[in-house]
Amino acid sequence: MKTTVVANWKMNPSNWREAKRLFAATRKAAEHAPQVSLIVAPPTLYLRELRATYAGRKIAFAVQNAHEGTSGAYTGELSFAQCKDSGASYVLVGHAERREMGESNEETGKKVTAALQNSLVPVLCVGESQRSGSGEHFEFVRTQLRAGISAVEPQHIARVIVAYEPVWAIGAQKPMTPRDMHEMAIFIRKSIVDIKGEKGMAVKILYGGAIDDTSAPEMLKRGDVHGLLVGRASEDVHKISGLLAAIENA
Protein backbone atom coordinates (compact mmCIF):
# COMPACT_ATOMS: atom_id res chain seq x y z
CA MET A 1 0.00 0.00 0.00
CA LYS A 2 1.24 3.51 -0.76
CA THR A 3 2.25 5.85 2.02
CA THR A 4 -0.03 8.85 2.38
CA VAL A 5 1.75 12.14 3.01
CA VAL A 6 -0.25 15.29 3.69
CA ALA A 7 1.81 18.45 3.18
CA ASN A 8 0.16 21.03 5.41
CA TRP A 9 1.57 24.39 4.35
CA LYS A 10 -0.48 26.18 7.01
CA MET A 11 -0.35 29.99 6.41
CA ASN A 12 2.76 29.72 4.18
CA PRO A 13 4.39 30.82 1.96
CA SER A 14 3.71 34.53 2.08
CA ASN A 15 3.18 35.13 -1.65
CA TRP A 16 2.09 33.42 -4.84
CA ARG A 17 5.57 33.43 -6.37
CA GLU A 18 6.94 31.44 -3.43
CA ALA A 19 3.94 29.14 -3.49
CA LYS A 20 4.62 28.28 -7.13
CA ARG A 21 8.26 27.63 -6.30
CA LEU A 22 7.42 25.38 -3.38
CA PHE A 23 4.87 23.52 -5.44
CA ALA A 24 7.34 23.01 -8.29
CA ALA A 25 9.87 21.47 -5.88
CA THR A 26 7.19 19.35 -4.23
CA ARG A 27 5.97 18.10 -7.56
CA LYS A 28 9.46 17.16 -8.68
CA ALA A 29 10.11 15.32 -5.41
CA ALA A 30 6.77 13.52 -5.75
CA GLU A 31 7.67 12.29 -9.22
CA HIS A 32 10.67 10.52 -7.72
CA ALA A 33 8.58 8.95 -4.98
CA PRO A 34 6.15 6.54 -6.65
CA GLN A 35 5.38 4.84 -3.31
CA VAL A 36 4.04 8.07 -1.87
CA SER A 37 0.51 9.29 -2.34
CA LEU A 38 0.92 13.02 -1.81
CA ILE A 39 -1.78 15.45 -0.73
CA VAL A 40 -0.85 19.14 -0.72
CA ALA A 41 -2.84 21.44 1.56
CA PRO A 42 -1.88 24.98 0.51
CA PRO A 43 -3.58 28.14 1.71
CA THR A 44 -6.95 27.92 -0.04
CA LEU A 45 -6.28 31.15 -1.91
CA TYR A 46 -3.55 29.38 -3.94
CA LEU A 47 -5.43 26.16 -4.51
CA ARG A 48 -7.41 26.77 -7.69
CA GLU A 49 -4.45 28.10 -9.60
CA LEU A 50 -2.08 25.39 -8.41
CA ARG A 51 -4.67 22.84 -9.44
CA ALA A 52 -5.14 24.49 -12.83
CA THR A 53 -1.43 24.49 -13.61
CA TYR A 54 -0.92 20.88 -12.51
CA ALA A 55 -1.77 18.35 -15.16
CA GLY A 56 -0.41 15.31 -13.29
CA ARG A 57 -2.34 12.80 -11.23
CA LYS A 58 0.29 12.15 -8.60
CA ILE A 59 -0.69 14.99 -6.28
CA ALA A 60 -4.11 15.58 -4.77
CA PHE A 61 -5.15 18.76 -3.02
CA ALA A 62 -6.64 19.51 0.37
CA VAL A 63 -7.98 22.55 2.12
CA GLN A 64 -6.94 23.16 5.71
CA ASN A 65 -10.44 23.97 6.92
CA ALA A 66 -13.94 24.71 5.63
CA HIS A 67 -17.27 25.82 7.05
CA GLU A 68 -20.07 23.31 7.50
CA GLY A 69 -22.78 25.64 6.16
CA THR A 70 -23.81 25.31 2.51
CA SER A 71 -24.04 29.03 1.72
CA GLY A 72 -25.12 32.31 3.22
CA ALA A 73 -24.03 34.96 5.67
CA TYR A 74 -20.72 33.58 6.97
CA THR A 75 -18.23 36.36 6.33
CA GLY A 76 -14.74 35.09 5.77
CA GLU A 77 -15.67 31.42 5.50
CA LEU A 78 -15.51 28.90 2.64
CA SER A 79 -17.99 26.09 2.14
CA PHE A 80 -17.08 22.48 1.42
CA ALA A 81 -18.76 22.79 -1.98
CA GLN A 82 -16.60 25.82 -2.84
CA CYS A 83 -13.47 23.95 -1.77
CA LYS A 84 -14.45 20.97 -3.89
CA ASP A 85 -15.12 23.26 -6.84
CA SER A 86 -11.64 24.79 -6.44
CA GLY A 87 -10.01 21.41 -6.90
CA ALA A 88 -9.71 20.00 -3.39
CA SER A 89 -10.43 16.34 -2.78
CA TYR A 90 -9.44 16.28 0.90
CA VAL A 91 -10.09 18.55 3.85
CA LEU A 92 -8.40 18.78 7.22
CA VAL A 93 -10.93 18.83 10.03
CA GLY A 94 -10.18 19.84 13.59
CA HIS A 95 -6.47 20.52 13.24
CA ALA A 96 -5.01 21.35 16.66
CA GLU A 97 -4.42 24.94 15.55
CA ARG A 98 -8.12 25.29 14.62
CA ARG A 99 -9.17 23.72 17.91
CA GLU A 100 -6.86 26.17 19.67
CA MET A 101 -8.82 28.97 17.95
CA GLY A 102 -12.03 27.59 19.39
CA GLU A 103 -13.22 24.83 17.08
CA SER A 104 -15.30 22.44 19.14
CA ASN A 105 -15.74 18.68 18.97
CA GLU A 106 -19.33 19.28 17.88
CA GLU A 107 -18.16 21.37 14.92
CA THR A 108 -15.69 18.72 13.82
CA GLY A 109 -18.56 16.22 13.65
CA LYS A 110 -20.56 18.58 11.41
CA LYS A 111 -17.53 19.20 9.22
CA VAL A 112 -16.79 15.51 8.74
CA THR A 113 -20.39 14.98 7.62
CA ALA A 114 -20.34 18.03 5.33
CA ALA A 115 -17.07 16.86 3.76
CA LEU A 116 -18.50 13.43 2.94
CA GLN A 117 -21.69 14.97 1.56
CA ASN A 118 -19.54 17.02 -0.82
CA SER A 119 -17.40 14.04 -1.87
CA LEU A 120 -14.37 15.31 -0.01
CA VAL A 121 -12.28 13.00 2.16
CA PRO A 122 -12.13 14.36 5.71
CA VAL A 123 -8.80 14.07 7.52
CA LEU A 124 -10.00 14.22 11.12
CA CYS A 125 -7.20 15.46 13.36
CA VAL A 126 -7.16 14.33 16.97
CA GLY A 127 -4.62 14.47 19.76
CA GLU A 128 -4.17 15.41 23.39
CA SER A 129 -2.39 18.56 24.58
CA GLN A 130 -0.47 16.83 27.31
CA ARG A 131 0.17 13.45 28.81
CA SER A 132 0.15 12.40 32.40
CA GLY A 133 1.16 9.03 33.72
CA SER A 134 -2.44 7.97 34.27
CA GLY A 135 -3.35 7.52 30.61
CA GLU A 136 -6.14 10.11 30.46
CA HIS A 137 -5.03 11.03 26.95
CA PHE A 138 -6.62 7.85 25.61
CA GLU A 139 -10.04 8.87 26.84
CA PHE A 140 -9.47 12.38 25.49
CA VAL A 141 -8.70 11.02 22.02
CA ARG A 142 -11.67 8.65 22.13
CA THR A 143 -13.98 11.59 22.90
CA GLN A 144 -12.58 13.54 19.94
CA LEU A 145 -13.00 10.51 17.69
CA ARG A 146 -16.56 9.86 18.83
CA ALA A 147 -17.56 13.48 18.24
CA GLY A 148 -15.88 13.53 14.84
CA ILE A 149 -17.38 10.35 13.41
CA SER A 150 -20.61 9.79 15.32
CA ALA A 151 -22.82 11.03 12.47
CA VAL A 152 -20.99 9.09 9.73
CA GLU A 153 -22.94 6.15 8.28
CA PRO A 154 -21.00 2.94 9.02
CA GLN A 155 -20.83 2.17 5.28
CA HIS A 156 -18.96 5.45 4.73
CA ILE A 157 -16.54 5.23 7.63
CA ALA A 158 -13.71 3.84 5.49
CA ARG A 159 -13.67 7.17 3.60
CA VAL A 160 -12.54 9.01 6.72
CA ILE A 161 -8.83 9.41 7.49
CA VAL A 162 -7.73 9.97 11.08
CA ALA A 163 -4.57 11.96 11.77
CA TYR A 164 -3.26 11.54 15.27
CA GLU A 165 -1.23 14.58 16.22
CA PRO A 166 -0.29 14.98 19.88
CA VAL A 167 -0.39 18.75 20.35
CA TRP A 168 2.85 18.62 22.34
CA ALA A 169 4.69 17.24 19.30
CA ILE A 170 3.37 19.78 16.77
CA GLY A 171 6.07 22.37 16.17
CA ALA A 172 8.36 20.52 18.59
CA GLN A 173 11.92 19.34 18.06
CA LYS A 174 11.07 15.66 17.98
CA PRO A 175 8.06 13.51 17.19
CA MET A 176 6.65 11.00 19.64
CA THR A 177 8.27 7.58 19.58
CA PRO A 178 7.07 5.06 16.99
CA ARG A 179 6.40 2.69 19.88
CA ASP A 180 3.97 5.11 21.51
CA MET A 181 2.38 5.75 18.14
CA HIS A 182 1.92 2.03 17.66
CA GLU A 183 0.07 1.81 20.95
CA MET A 184 -2.07 4.81 20.01
CA ALA A 185 -2.83 3.40 16.55
CA ILE A 186 -4.17 0.20 18.12
CA PHE A 187 -6.27 2.26 20.50
CA ILE A 188 -7.64 4.48 17.71
CA ARG A 189 -8.54 1.51 15.53
CA LYS A 190 -10.26 -0.23 18.42
CA SER A 191 -12.16 2.93 19.31
CA ILE A 192 -13.40 3.41 15.75
CA VAL A 193 -14.53 -0.21 15.59
CA ASP A 194 -16.30 0.20 18.96
CA ILE A 195 -18.10 3.28 17.63
CA LYS A 196 -18.80 2.23 14.02
CA GLY A 197 -18.34 -1.53 13.81
CA GLU A 198 -15.95 -3.71 11.83
CA LYS A 199 -15.85 -1.39 8.81
CA GLY A 200 -13.84 0.94 11.02
CA MET A 201 -10.85 -1.38 10.56
CA ALA A 202 -10.36 0.15 7.10
CA VAL A 203 -9.84 3.70 8.37
CA LYS A 204 -6.37 5.00 7.53
CA ILE A 205 -4.37 6.42 10.42
CA LEU A 206 -1.69 9.08 9.98
CA TYR A 207 0.81 10.47 12.44
CA GLY A 208 1.64 14.19 12.59
CA GLY A 209 3.99 16.31 14.69
CA ALA A 210 7.65 17.20 14.07
CA ILE A 211 8.17 14.69 11.27
CA ASP A 212 11.15 15.17 8.96
CA ASP A 213 13.42 13.08 6.77
CA THR A 214 15.23 11.61 9.77
CA SER A 215 12.15 10.48 11.74
CA ALA A 216 9.76 9.50 8.92
CA PRO A 217 11.21 6.07 8.00
CA GLU A 218 11.14 4.73 11.59
CA MET A 219 7.67 6.09 12.21
CA LEU A 220 6.37 4.40 9.08
CA LYS A 221 8.13 1.15 9.85
CA ARG A 222 7.20 0.84 13.53
CA GLY A 223 4.40 3.28 14.20
CA ASP A 224 1.57 1.21 12.66
CA VAL A 225 0.47 4.17 10.52
CA HIS A 226 -0.50 4.51 6.86
CA GLY A 227 1.16 7.86 6.48
CA LEU A 228 2.18 11.23 7.84
CA LEU A 229 0.79 14.73 8.25
CA VAL A 230 3.68 17.13 7.85
CA GLY A 231 3.93 20.83 8.63
CA ARG A 232 7.39 22.44 8.66
CA ALA A 233 9.13 19.79 6.58
CA SER A 234 6.62 20.43 3.79
CA GLU A 235 7.03 24.20 3.72
CA ASP A 236 10.63 24.25 2.51
CA VAL A 237 11.82 23.25 -0.96
CA HIS A 238 14.78 21.27 0.36
CA LYS A 239 13.03 19.63 3.29
CA ILE A 240 10.12 18.30 1.26
CA SER A 241 12.50 16.75 -1.27
CA GLY A 242 14.54 15.16 1.54
CA LEU A 243 11.42 13.87 3.26
CA LEU A 244 9.91 12.23 0.19
CA ALA A 245 13.26 10.72 -0.78
CA ALA A 246 13.72 9.31 2.74
CA ILE A 247 10.28 7.71 2.63
CA GLU A 248 10.81 6.32 -0.84
CA ASN A 249 14.18 4.82 0.06
CA ALA A 250 13.16 3.47 3.44
Please choose, out of 52-60, 66-74, 128-136, 225-233, the segment that lies near ligand PGA by the rule CB under 6 A.
225-233
- Shortest CB 175 distance to ligand PGA, Å: 8
Q: Does residue 170 interact with ligand PGA by CB under 6 A?
A: yes
- Answer yes or no: are the C-beta atoms of 17 and 237 closer than 8 Å: no
- Shortest CB 210 distance to ligand PGA, Å: 4
- Shortest CB 53 distance to ligand PGA, Å: 25
- Answer yes or no: are the C-beta atoms of 9 and 41 closer than 8 Å: yes
Q: Does residue 229 interact with ligand PGA by CB under 6 A?
A: yes
Q: Does residue 60 interact with ligand PGA by CB under 6 A?
A: no
Cα–Cα distances in angstroms (integers) from residue 39 to residues 3, 155, 186, 216, 230, in the given order? 11, 24, 24, 16, 10
Q: Does residue 79 interact with ligand PGA by CB under 6 A?
A: no
Q: Could you confirm whether 165 is annotated as catalytic?
A: yes
Q: Which of residues 3-22 bind ligand PGA (CB under 6 A)?
A: 8
Q: State the residue number with the nearest CB to ligand PGA.
A: 231
Q: Could you confirm whether 128 is annotated as catalytic?
A: no
Residue 43: asked if its preceding bond is cis (omega within 30°), the reply is no
- The catalytic position among 67, 68, 95, 226 is 95
Q: Does residue 232 interact with ligand PGA by CB under 6 A?
A: yes
Mention every residue, 6+ apart, whose C-beta is less than 8 A from residue 232.
Answer: 171, 210, 212, 239
Mention every residue, 6+ apart, whose C-beta is less than 8 A from residue 105.
Answer: 94, 143, 144, 147, 148
Q: Does residue 208 interact with ligand PGA by CB under 6 A?
A: yes
Give the span between the Cα atoms of 136 and 161, in whole angstroms.
Answer: 23
Mention every residue, 6+ apart, whose C-beta is less than 8 A from residue 95.
Answer: 8, 64, 65, 125, 165
- The catalytic position among 68, 97, 165, 235 is 165
Give the span between the Cα atoms of 27 and 25, in whole angstroms.
Answer: 5
Q: Does residue 135 interact with ligand PGA by CB under 6 A?
A: no
Q: Which residues are catalytic, by number? A: 95, 165
Binding site for ligand PGA (CB under 6 A): 8, 165, 170-171, 208-211, 229-233
